Amino acid sequence: MKILGIETSCDETAAAVVEDGSKILSNVVVSQIDIFAEYGGVIPEVAARSHLEAMMPVVNKALKNAFCSWDEIDAIAVTHAPGLLGSLLIGTLTARTMAILHEKPLYATHHLKSHVYANWLNVDESEELVSERALEAARPSFTLSKTNSSDSPQFPLLAMVISGGHTQILYMRGHDQFEIIGTTHDDAVGECFDKVAKILGLTYPGGPSIAKEALRGNENKYKLPHPHVDGLDFSFSGLKTAVLRAVQKELGLPISHPSHDLKNHLTDEMRADFAASFQKTAIDILNEKIKLAIQEHPEIKSIVFAGGVSANQKLREEAERIFSKDYAVFFPEPKYSGDNGAMVAAAAFYEIQAGVKPTDPYKLNIYPRISIES
């Protein structure tokens, strides 16, 4: 079954064709990062306009790269929740129109489900990606993929969804069965990377910038506190403030000193040490919560990571080191950690397997803030 997956929930315009939930026939992502790097964050109206311009060329390229005509597409899947309102509208209106025009069944997927299902994508099977990987291999790369790339995650499992908008631990008994067992009380961990990067004067998005800067820093230089949050929940706004205070203290500046000016006073060494110390603390917090979740659910067979922050190499190494002796640990290939259309198609495939029926293309709505459990 070939599904065209469309994703526009934030600042990536993406479409992909995936066969049977795992074989990637094409994957096209147009990122707006360059636009938003200038502003230090996403501007929703600008994102929606950019999606509008990129959407149809991206869909057409995804079909062309997959050597597929519309006749060969069995279904269309699109992200309808959660995300930026204007961005979700462009993707869903496109998918609805295409579904009506080409008489295809339409499936609406939740963005976090799609992130989780990136772990079922079999990147090795993709021709296009095989050649890209050959290029990657030529560079000094740290790519570390699934514990065993030929296997799929086994249920029951814990899924750690860590993105720019969400930080949740999900318990999955089977396909398309999601229970939230931990969530953030305030900022998402990706948001925290982005805000700390801004304080340190690193470019948006903050995650990759901090990861790169941290490579030459001392992660034990600054001791940052772990927030006291009971159970499996998280809080990341306190960690961002802790970095802010630590930077002010290191520079001998008062807490009233404007945060946007601190970057002008940091030495290169301080910046790298703060990036490394912050990254280590954020990763430790995530892994500590997984340890707690395992205590509550010792029956799990796999641990899967998902969402933009799961591209973090240090997190991959640490999680593998801590958990892979006892559990199968899965990460999406780094380029599928962030937003893409392939994961949307994969999620829809497993929803269909679980008995989900197509949605009415004349009525499909968007839900910018809805939970994965609804």
Binding residues for Zn ion (CB under 5 A): 163, 339
Per CB under 6 A, 308 contacts ligand KG4 = yes
How far from chain centre, in Å, is Cα 304?
Answer: 12
- Taking Cα atoms as reference points, which of 94, 98, 67 lies closest to residue 2? 67
Per CB under 6 A, 311 contacts ligand KG4 = yes
Pick from 5, 21, 165, 361 the residue near ligand KG4 by CB under 6 A: 165
- Residue 155, phi-psi category: left (phi > 0), alpha (psi -120 to 50), beta (remainder): beta
Pick from 91, 182, 332, 338 the residue near ligand KG4 by CB under 6 A: 338
Are residues 367 and 81 in contact, defined by beta-carbon separation less than 8 angstroms? Answer: yes
Per CB under 6 A, 86 contacts ligand KG4 = no
- Of 4-43, binders to ligand KG4 (CB under 6 A) are 10
Rounded Cα distance, 251 and 39, in Å? 26
From Zn ion, ligand KG4, none, interface partner of 341 (C-beta below 5 to 8 A by class): none
Pick from 36, 117, 171, 193 the residue near ligand KG4 by CB under 6 A: 193
Taking the complex as a whole, the smallest distance from the CB of residue 307 to Zn ion amounts, in Å, to 6
Nearer to ligand KG4, 146 or 316 (CB): 316
Q: How many residues bind ligand KG4 (CB under 6 A)?
A: 20
The packing angle between helices 189-200 and 237-251, to 10°, is: 20
Burial class (CB in 10 A: 0-12, 13-18, 19+), 345: buried
Taking the complex as a whole, the smallest distance from the CB of residue 360 to ligand KG4 amounts, in Å, to 26
Nearer to Zn ion, 83 or 153 (CB): 83
Preceding amide of 44 cis, omega within 30: no
- Of 207-236, binders to ligand KG4 (CB under 6 A) are 207-208, 211
Per CB under 6 A, 307 contacts ligand KG4 = yes
Taking the complex as a whole, the smallest distance from the CB of residue 328 to Zn ion amounts, in Å, to 23
The binding track of 230-269 with respect to ligand KG4, each residue x by CB under 6 A or -, is ----------------------------------------
Rounded Cα distance, 164 and 47, in Å? 15
Are residues 182 and 234 in contact, defined by beta-carbon separation less than 8 angstroms? Answer: yes
Per CB under 6 A, 65 contacts ligand KG4 = no
Per CB under 6 A, 206 contacts ligand KG4 = yes
SS3 of 190-259: the string is HHHHHHHHHHHCCCCCHHHHHHHHHCCCCCCCCCCCCCCCCCCCECCHHHHHHHHHHHHHHHCCCCCCCH
What are the tokens at 75? 């279904």
Rounded Cα distance, 221 and 197, in Å? 17
Pick from 86, 153, 190, 332 the residue near ligand KG4 by CB under 6 A: 190
The secondary structure element, H or E, covering residue 29 is: strand 23-31
Taking the complex as a whole, the smallest distance from the CB of residue 204 to ligand KG4 amounts, in Å, to 8
Taking the complex as a whole, the smallest distance from the CB of residue 312 to ligand KG4 amounts, in Å, to 3
Are residues 146 and 303 in contact, defined by beta-carbon separation less than 8 angstroms? Answer: no
Per CB under 6 A, 164 contacts ligand KG4 = yes
Count of C-beta atoms within a 10 Å radius of residue 318: 16
From ligand KG4, Zn ion, none, interface partner of 91 (C-beta below 5 to 8 A by class): none
Summarize as ranges the residues that interact with ligand KG4 (CB under 6 A).
Answer: 10, 163-165, 190-191, 193-194, 205-208, 211, 307-309, 311-312, 338-339
